Structures are given as structure tokens and as C-alpha cells.
């Protein structure tokens, strides 16, 4: 079937199988490999992207369901199509060492942007709860929490197109 989806601000039209999962559309059809798959059961959040402005687990959304929608992946933060420019959340993750192996990171960053878009000034507890659907094996979440709190100091951290001034 044919779908039209805007990915990182670029409108696309693609022919896909109805059973294709959005995460595979992003990785294989659109060639954006940052979004990862970490589980089979919608548990880990590694695949988190923004769909029509809210965080979703792209392993549990059909490409077909996203037809007509808008997707932002970690490559699209900071207003770019395929990475390069830092967004306040990305920069805070670096500053606070909120990543180690990096595998959970794209999903974690997108979940954090989603969280900050809904709650720009979260408490520690709200950050933990807001990220309960994103697993990380490396960091113990200690610095992820700090990164999100640091990012929250930037007023537009909940906006995907926000950029860190160089």
C-alpha cells in the first residue's frame, strides 16, 4: 500500500507492506538508522519517536497507521533531516553523561523531548515516571535524570526544532 509520511520535515511517499512496523519504515525504507529495536514486547522504548508531536513506540505502530502523519526521529532534532545539529536535550545528555553505549539513547532522547513538550518543568520524580517506558542498561538512569533536568532549563527543549546556539 502507499503511504505519505513527513519524516524529519521531508514529505515522503512510499510503497510498503501493510504489516510493516513504523520502526522498520524509518530504518529500512527511509534509511534513518538511529532509531533502534530493543525488544519484542513494547517494553523498552529504544524505538521511541515523535508521531504527530507525541512520543510513541514505533515498534508498535504500523507504517499504515502513520499514513498522513508527521514523524520526528533523533536525526531530525535541532531542525535537521539527518543529524548534525544539537538540540538542547541532546546537548544536555552529553553534558551530563546521560549515555554510555548509546543504544537506548535515540529513544531516550525522543521520550525526553516528548516529556518536556508536555511538562516543561518536571520534578525529579516526574522525569523518572515520564521515562518509565525507556530502558537503559548502562547508566542506572542517574545521569539521564540530570540531563533531562538540565535540558528543562532551556525554554524550548520540548520543541523538536530547537537548536543549541553554537
Partner 1 sequence: MSILGTRVVRNEDPELLTKGGTYTDDLIDERLDGAAHLIFVRSPVAHARILSIDTSEALKLPGVVAVYTAADVDLPIINPPMPMFNQDMTQTPLASDKVRYVGEPVAIVVCDDPYIREDAAELVEVEYDILPAVIGMPNAAKDEVLLWESVGTNTVVDFGTPDDLDPNLFDDCEVVVSHLIQNQRIHPAPMESRSGAASWPEGERLTAWIPSQGAQGAKAALAAQLGIDAAEVHVLTPDVGGAFGARFGADVEMVLTAWVAGKLHRPMRWSETRYENLLAMTHGRAQEQRVTIGGSRDGNMKKYRLEVLADCGAYPKIGGILPSLTRLMTPGTYVFDKAESIAKAVVTNTTPIGAYRGAGRPEATAAIERAVDIFAAEIGMDPADVRRKNLVPKFTEPHLTAFGALYDSGDYETALNKALEAANYEDLRKEQQLRRERGDAKQLGIGMSSYVEITGAGSESGDPNENATVEVHPDGTVTILTGTSPHGQGHATAWAMMASDTLGIGIDKITVIHGDTDLIPKGGGTGGSRSLQQGGMAVQKASIELVDIARTRAAELLEANEADLQFNIDDSGFSVAGVPSSTVTLAKLAEKERLFINAVFAAPGATFPFGAHLAVVEVDVETGKATLERIFCVDDAGVVMNPLLFDGQRHGGIAQGAAQAFLEEFIYDEDGNPLTASFADYPFLSATEVPSFDLVSMVTPTTYNPMGVKGVGEAGTIGATPAVQNAVVDAVSHLGVRHIDMPTSPRVVWEAIEAARSNSNSNGKVA
Partner 2 sequence: MIPAPFDYVRATSAEHILELMAQHGDEAKLLAGGHSLLPMMKVRLASPTVLIDIASVPELSYVKVDGDDLVIGATTSHATVANSDLIQADAPLLSYAAAQIGDPQIRHRGTIGGSLAHSDPAADLPMTLVALDGTFELLGPSGTRSVKAEDFFIGYFETALEHDEIISAVRVPRRPGVGWGYEKFTRRANDWAIVGIATVAGRVAMANMGSIPARPVATEQALAGGQGIAEAAALAADGIEPAGDMHATTAYRQHLARVLTRRALETAASRNQA
Ligand X SMILES: Cc1cc2nc3c(=O)[nH]c(=O)nc-3n(C[C@H](O)[C@H](O)[C@H](O)COP(=O)(O)OP(=O)(O)OC[C@H]3O[C@@H](n4cnc5c(N)ncnc54)[C@H](O)[C@@H]3O)c2cc1C
CB of 61 to ligand FES, least distance (A): 9
CB of 43 to ligand X, least distance (A): 5
Rule CB under 6 A: is residue 42 a binding residue for ligand X? yes
User: Based on CB atoms, which residue is closest to partner 2, 95 or 129?
Assistant: 129
CB of 40 to partner 2, least distance (A): 4
User: Based on CB atoms, which residue is closest to ligand X, 15 or 40?
Assistant: 40
CB of 38 to ligand FES, least distance (A): 4
User: Based on CB atoms, which residue is closest to ligand X, 6 or 60?
Assistant: 60
Three-state secondary structure string covering the chain: CEEEEEECCEEEEEECCCCCEHHHHHHHHCCCCCCCCCCCCCCCCCCEEEECCEEEEHHHCECHHHCCCEEECHHHHHHCCCCCCCCHHHHHHHHCCCCCCCCCHHHHHHHHHHHHHHCCCCCHHHHHHHCCCCCCCCCCCHHHHHHHHHHCCCCCCCCCCCCCCC
Name the residues that contact partner 2, by CB under 8 A. Answer: 1, 17-21, 24, 40-42, 45, 48, 54-57, 59-62, 64-65, 67, 111, 114-115, 118, 129-130, 132-134
Amino acid at each position: 500500500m502507499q503511504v505519505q509520511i513527513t519524516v524529519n520535515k521531508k514529505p515522503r511517499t512510499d510503497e510498503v507492506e501493510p504489516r510493516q512496523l513504523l520502526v522498520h519504515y524509518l530504518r529500512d525504507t527511509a534509511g534513518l538508522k538511529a532509531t533502534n529495536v530493543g525488544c519484542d514486547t513494547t517494553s523498552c522504548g529504544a524505538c521511541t519517536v515523535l508521531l504527530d508531536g507525541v512520543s510513541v513506540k514505533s515498534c508498535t505502530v504500523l507504517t499504515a497507521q502513520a499514513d498522513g502523519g508527521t514523524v520526528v526521529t533523533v536525526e531530525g532534532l535541532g531542525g535537521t533531516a539527518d543529524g548534525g545539529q544539537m538540540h538542547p536535550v541532546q546537548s544536555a545528555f552529553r553534558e551530563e553523561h546521560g549515555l554510555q553505549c548509546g543504544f537506548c539513547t535515540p529513544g531516550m532522547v525522543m521520550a525526553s523531548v516528548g516529556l518536556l513538550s508536555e511538562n516543561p518543568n518536571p520534578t525529579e520524580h516526574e522525569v523518572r515516571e515520564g521515562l518509565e517506558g525507556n530502558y537503559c542498561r548502562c547508566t542506572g538512569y542517574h545521569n539521564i535524570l540530570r540531563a533531562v533536568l538540565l535540558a528543562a532549563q532551556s525554554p524550548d527543549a520540548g520543541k523538536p526544532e530547537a537548536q543549541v546556539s553554537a
